[in-house]
Amino acid sequence: MKYNDLEDNYRHKGLRKKLVEELRSKGITNEAVLEAINKVPRHLFMASGFLDFAYKDQAFPIGAGQTISQPYTVAFQTSLLDIQKGDKVLEIGTGSGYQAAILLEMGARVFTIERQKELFLNAQALLTRLGYHPRFFYGDGYEGLPAFAPFDKILITAAAPEIPEALIRQLKTGGILVAPVGDSDTQEMTRLIKHSKDDIEITRHGYFVFVPMMKGTSNNGNGKGA
């Protein structure tokens, strides 16, 4: 069961402040990212009854075999993207909608794609109720959104075996793409900067574990992650 009343009280706010301090102590320094984490009520993105987990620095199941990313991972990926107000951002893997809310709090314009129908519908309903308005797409993130390209930033929030060519094409010159790249056991956080079509800079930023990026769409949970 989900929260019905969308309550965000002093206790939740206190727990968020603690989480922000924990992320700071783990090396997150981007103040705009920390401010967004301080604002977005993460407990509302998880099933009720799990308040004790909502503000721990942990990933958590959100149904359909998927997870809401660990706050540190969200903060780390968002920092690598160097989000500026007004950036047009494509997110692959809406999941719970939490990462999209963080990007919106930072003043980005967000286009988010999810391949699991149930998660797509849940995230759309919740974010709308919370007053967050990304553009939602049900589809396969491997293809991106050619009709809406180019994007200033692209963020993949599932484990990609490699960075899809289609997404690099949809990145603006000067744009940044961040993705966990690797097999299903472990992935290396990868940042790609597109200086020009033929000048692409790639840097790597440590190891993470995400649920896999799957091809196609799924109505029935076939695309179950790890």
Q: Which residues bind ligand SAH (CB under 6 A)?
A: 66-69, 92-93, 95-96, 98-99, 113-116, 119, 140-142, 157-158, 211, 213-214
CB of 101 to ligand SAH, least distance (A): 8
- 25, 48, 69, 79: the active-site residue: 69
Which one, 51 or 226, has the nearer CB to ligand SAH? 226
| Host H or E run for residue 66 | strand 66-68
Which one, 33 or 213, has the nearer CB to ligand SAH? 213
Which one, 138 or 172, has the nearer CB to ligand SAH? 138
Q: Tokens representing 151?
A: 């994007």
Q: Tokens representing 38?
A: 């301080």
Q: Residue 172 carries which side chain, given as an amino acid letter?
A: K
Written as one string, the DSSP assignment of 17-37 is HHHHHHHHHTT---HHHHHHH
CB of 199 to ligand SAH, least distance (A): 27
CB of 35 to ligand SAH, least distance (A): 18
Query: In whole angstroms, what is the distance from residue 114 CA to residue 136 CA?
Result: 8
211 within 8 A of 226, measured Cβ to Cβ: yes
Q: Number of helices (H) and strands (E) in the chain: give both, helices first.
A: 7, 9
Distance of CA 209 to the CA centre of its chain: 14
User: Smallest Cα–Cα separation from 112: which of 57, 201, 101, 220?
Assistant: 101
Which one, 97 or 175, has the nearer CB to ligand SAH? 97
Is 69 catalytic? The answer is yes
CB of 225 to ligand SAH, least distance (A): 6
**Active-site residue set:** 69
